[in-house]
Every structure is written in structure tokens, then in C-alpha cells.
Amino acid sequence: MKKGIVLSFLMGMLLSAKAQTFITYGKNSISKQEFLRAYNKNKPGTDAREKSIRDYVDLYTNFKLKVKAASELRIDTLQQIKYDVENFRNQIMENYLSDEAGMKMLENEAFERSQKDIHVLHFFYPVVPGANASDSLKAFNGINQIYKSLKSGNSNYAEIVAAVPTAKQNDIGFITVFTLPYEYENIVYNTGVGEISKPYHSKNGWHIFKILEQRPAAGKWKIAQVLFSFPPAADAATKAAIKAKADSVYHLIQDGMPFGEAAKTFSNDKLTYLTDGEMQEFGAGKYSTDFENQIFALKKDGEISKPFETAFGYHIVKRLGFVLIPANKGDEAYQLELKQKILQDSRINIIREKFAKEIVEKTGFKKAASVSFPDLFRYADTLMKNPTEERANTLPVSKKIIATFAHGNVKGSEWLKFVREYKANYEQYKGETNQQLWDKFVTIASVDYYKKNLEYFNSDFKNQMDEFRDGNMLFEIMERKVWNKAIADTAGLIKYYNNHKEKYKWAASADVIVFNCSSQKIAEAAMEKLKAGKDWKSIALESNAAIQADSGRYELSQIAGNSTSITPVENSFSSVTTNADSSSIFVQYLKLYPAGLQRNFADAKGLVINDYQNVLEQNWLQQLKIKYPVKVNEVVLKQIISQE
């Protein structure tokens, strides 16, 4: 009994420490953990830790007070707020539906494999899907005969294959990551140079891979080609005529015909002739070895090959560019490229399936004992005799709870709906048994439940959603209570201006015309026209939008390009300043004013609005603090300050 009391006391102490209250406002509280999470995310870069933390206490408390006021007004129920929150939820959800460690593993693996190219010889014994036992055994014996011959050191590959009817052998050439399907890539990259892989059974047959050689990654090429393709079953005379045509076009190019024009006029490559023959960038393994070897032989950009033959016809190729494969993981663009390829490749299914299994465990999916598998499967078969939505909702099992989650349940109608929709999709339905369909349903139902309750399962996701929702609510309440209220209160603005005129005086200023030009050359030409007496509005109007100009009064410190060490004079020009995007700006000074002149209300209105908004905000915060008294736990505050 005493042991149980002590354990309960210790658990209570641990829970209390974990959610240690730091700030209260009314009946609401902010934990130490919540404050530190917000502070560490937004803290200013300063060494004055105590001041920084105390300032942020005020800032964060004021933020929570405003959000509380918004919540009291039920701003979170506004249709636009709900839409924005749901839209944001859908945008970020996928970031939390993957195995980060698994994805990182695939990225590292792809990077390491991309650093080398492997020359592969492939032996294949086809097996028809659904083959009988006799044919399957024949295939098994045949591939093992090839394996034994290779292991014995026999390198007469034609002889090895000839001894096993229906077997095939192919020199794939050099491959790199993503060249082969992932299941074969794994075998190749885990087999040493000169070694032979063990027979591997896929859905279409048996495979053996022999690794002939390995080299550092050759890189990626950008090329253009003119293709003179062979017609089906072309004889020697036809091929000779095509070669003669290729030679003729090659000489035209050598005599000055633009390569792109030659491609448009003569190329049979329907994918590239309209783009001057340019092909997509590629690396090792994309094309046949005889084609790639000709590309590799081109040593500089702009170099053009003589016509060469492949199984597809005669090619004339121009090298447009070449890049090496990055050798370190610091190349962000290359890392992003690998990640995008992984997401589009079958290998991503490995971590998706693993993560889906983890989700099933996290959600606590459990089939209800009150419903048997025979009943679930029987009603699924019954439904498919009349697969309507109404039927799916009226069968005896429809309204029964067939499975439970930690905090939810699944009804039979959901199972029947899944079966109806899955079997109706002929692209995905492959004749799976009811048990196989149930296994799929368990995963899909669990993932769907996990998505709908992601805040419960992932605290980072919950925090991000809370931050976004609170931010939207804050914006809406600030518009109502401060920003729009100040702008609409003309009488209040004028009164505030009259009571604080001394705040609204001009520094040294000038009436100017500001010219924003698309280039330095255009800016210099405009300045010459101005100096010659041409009207600035006409210059801008005649520039076809290459010049944007406007006039106004500005303080000298506000004028772009103005140097505080140089005092401008009336009717002078600033120097032309060129920006990073090659656009240019200069200023014409029309009239100068000394510092200390009073701004009228119109000139000061923007400044007055800003100051008046601050006054309204402070008054509103005082009211909120009366309604929700704020208390800061100084003991906890000192703990936070002392933490490094």
C-alpha cells in the first residue's frame, strides 16, 4: 500500500515537472516548456539573456492575451479562418507522414551509388506468370546451370546461354543509380567486381548479374542529335542509302548549316527535332553502350560527331554541355534532385510500407471480437452482386462496429465501401482474396484515422497547427481592435496629431522625381533628356514601361542612393545606382527644405496612424490584463534565465 502511494506521488511529481506552469493569465496558463519552445524559435541574437527573456515574457503574454480575446469572440469559427487552417493542415500534413530516418537512408544510399558506374552483364531465364510446376522447375534448373557455369570460370557467355534453351544474355553496359529497377539495382551494387550474383526470382523470371568492371561516375551530358532512323527489317542497301544521307547532312553542318536547322529539316527523332535536336540531360545507363561511347568521345562543348550507327539508325551528335556528379553532400541542388527521384521511384514504397505498419500500431487498430472474418468476407461478396452505395449502407454488418482505435472505431459500412471502390478500380484490383483486401483496409483505415487525429499523435504537428491558427486569429482581432479601428477614427487621428505636433516635423527633405529604369543605359539616356529640358512625364510615357517615375517630398535619408556626406542642390541629379537585378535608379532634386519644418496632417498621416494604433493597442492590452490578470512565476523565470 505504501509502495503504491509513493509511486503515485512520484508520478505526480514527474507530470508536474513536465508541465511546469510559468505564466498565468486569468484561469489560463503557459507552461515553461511552451514558453521555451516559442522563445527558442524567435529569440533575438543578443548576449543579454535576462533582458531578452524578460522582454519576451511580455511579448508572448500579450500575444496569448490577444488570442484569448479572439477565442472569446469565436473568431476561430469564421469560415475564412477555418478554410485557411484546413488548407494549411493539408499542405504540411505530408511532412509528418513519412519515415524521416528511412528517407535519409535512401538519400545517403542513392548518393553513394551515384558516385560510381558499374558495367553489368545480365543473364535471364523467362517464366510465364502462373506457370505450372513442371515449367517452374525447368526454369529453376536452367538458371542454376548458368550459375554453375559462370562460377566455374567459364567466360564463353554465348556458349553458356546456348546450352540452356530460352535463356538470354545481355551486356547492359554501365549503369548508375536509378538506371535499373530498385530490386535489381540492390543486387548489382551489392555484388563485387568480377563476382556473380546468386539467381534472383522476379515475377517474370530468373536473373543473374555479373559485374564486369567499375569506374568513378562518368557524369551527365547535354546533347543534341540528328537521327536518320532505320525502317523495320532494313536491308543492307537501305542502310547504305541512309548512311549516305547522314554523311551528306554532316557535310552541310560542317559547311555552316546550323545544327538546329539540320535537326528540324532531317531528323527522324520525333521527340527532339522541334527543339533543335536537344535531348534531356542524361547519365550512364540511359542509352545503349554504343551510343554512349560516341558521346563520351566528344571532349568539348560544341564538338560534333561524325555519323555513327546504332540499332536505331545513324546519328550525328553535338555536345552541348557536361557536368560531373557532385562528390560531396553539401551540394543542395544535387541532394534535392536525388530526393525528387527517390519520391518518384519504387524504392520509396519500402519506407512508406514500413511507416504504414508503424501507424497501424500507433493507432491501436483492433478487430472487434463481435464480428467474425467469415461474416465480413461473406457480406463483401454479397455486396459485389449489387455494388451500390445504398446496398453498402444497408447490409446487416453496415452499422456494426467492426474494429476500434485507441480513441475511435470503424463501422462495417466503411469496410464495404472500401471493397466496392477498390474492386471497381480495374487498374488497382488484381483479384486479391478477401483476406488480402482486409489487410489493405487495415492499413488504409489506420492511416486515415492517423491523419484525422495527427495532432494527438505528433506534438510537433500540433504545435505548428496551433501557431498557424493563433496567428490567423491574432491578425483578425488586431484588424478589428487596432488597425482598422485606428484608420477609421479620423477625429481621433486629428486629435492625436494636434496633441503631438512636435513629433511630426520634417528632417532635411526635398521635392524630388524618382526614376526607376530597367537598365543603367536607359537611366543614363533618361538623365540626358532631362538635362536637355524634356518633361519627365513624357520620358516615362515614351519608354514602353522601361522607366517608372514619380514625384514627391522625401527626407534626404529616405532617398535611394543619397549620400549623407554630400548635400544636394536644387535642380541637380543623384548618381545612377544599379541594383542586383540590373535595374537602375536615380533622383532629380527639385526643391530643398531645411530640417525642423512642421508636417501638416496629410503629410504626417501615415506616421500618426502608426502611433495611434500603438496607443489603441496598449489601451486594449490594459483592459485585457484587468480581465485576465497576469502572474509570472519568478522562481521558474530565474530557472530559465540561468539555463544555458
Q: Which distant-in-sequence residues (6+ apart) come within 8 Å of 562 by Cβ? A: 556, 568, 574, 587
At which residue does the C-alpha cell 555536345 appear?
319
3-state secondary structure of 129: coil
Cα 539 to Cα 22, 546, 550, 576: the distances in Å are 63, 10, 12, 17
pLDDT score, position 63: 97
Domain end (from 556, 573, 597): 597
Domain that holds residue 581: 506-597
| % residues pLDDT > 70 (the chain) | 95
Q: Are 358 and 350 in contact (CB under 8 A)?
A: no
Residues 253 and 160 in one domain: no
Task: Enter the C-alpha cell of residue 205.
Answer: 523470371
Strand 630-632 and strand 584-593: the pairing is unpaired
pLDDT score, position 115: 97
Residues 374 and 303 in one domain: no
Exposed/middle/buried for residue 231 (C-beta within 10 Å: 0-12, 13-18, 19+): exposed
Q: 264-268, long-range: CB within 8 Å, 24+ apart, which pairs?
A: 266/226, 266/228, 267/225, 267/226, 267/227, 267/228, 268/227, 268/228, 268/229, 268/313
Q: Is residue 17 part of a domain?
A: no
Q: Is residue 95 part of a domain?
A: no
pLDDT score, position 99: 84
Q: Is residue 390 part of a domain?
A: yes
Q: Mean pLDDT across the chain, nearest whole number?
A: 92
Residue 8: pLDDT band with limits 50, 70, 90 = very low
* SS3 of the chain: helix, strand, coil, percent, to 5: 55, 20, 30
What distance in Å separates the CA atoms of residue 623 and residue 628, rounded to the nearest whole number? Answer: 9
Question: How many domains does the chain divide into?
Answer: 4
Q: Which amino acid is at 315?
A: H
* Segment holding 420, helix H or strand E: helix 412-424
What distance in Å separates the CA atoms of residue 123 and residue 366, rounded to the nearest whole number? Answer: 46
Asked whether residue 7 carries a pLDDT value surpassing 60, the answer given is: no
Asked whether residue 390 carries a pLDDT value surpassing 50, the answer given is: yes
Residues 209 and 281 in one domain: no
Q: Is residue 403 part of a domain?
A: yes
What distance in Å separates the CA atoms of residue 195 and residue 218, rounded to the nearest whole number? Answer: 22
Residues 548 and 589 in one domain: yes
Residues 237 and 209 in one domain: no
Asked whether residue 617 carries a pLDDT value surpassing 60, the answer given is: yes
Domain end (from 456, 483, 518): 456
CATH code, 298: 3.10.50.40
Residues 511 and 560 in one domain: yes
Residue 47: pLDDT band with limits 50, 70, 90 = low
Q: Is residue 2 part of a domain?
A: no
Residues 126 and 206 in one domain: yes
3-state secondary structure of 28: strand
Q: Is residue 268 part of a domain?
A: yes
Task: Enter the C-alpha cell of residue 312.
Answer: 536505331
Output the CA angle 641-474-458, nearest 5 degrees.
Answer: 65
Q: 137-144, long-range: CB within 8 Å, 24+ apart, which pairs?
A: 139/205, 139/206, 140/206, 142/166, 142/167, 142/206, 143/167, 143/199, 143/206, 143/207, 143/208, 144/199
Q: Is residue 381 part of a domain?
A: yes
Give the mean model confidence (pLDDT) for residues 160-177: 94
Q: Are 277 and 249 in contact (CB under 8 A)?
A: no
Residues 294 and 382 in one domain: no
Domain end (from 391, 424, 456): 456
Sheet with strand 28-31: strands edge to edge: 28-31, 21-25, 630-632
pLDDT score, position 6: 35
Residues 577 and 557 in one domain: yes
What distance in Å separates the CA atoms of residue 69 and residue 622, rounded to the nearest whole number? Answer: 13
Q: What is the pLDDT of residues 224-272, one digit of tens each?
A: 999 999 998 899 999 999 999 999 999 999 999 999 999 999 999 988 9
Q: Which amino acid is at 260?
A: G
Residues 243 and 293 in one domain: yes
Asked whether residue 200 carries a pLDDT value surpassing 60, the answer given is: yes
Exposed/middle/buried for residue 447 (C-beta within 10 Å: 0-12, 13-18, 19+): middle
Residues 576 and 528 in one domain: yes
Residues 226 and 188 in one domain: no
Q: Is residue 61 part of a domain?
A: no
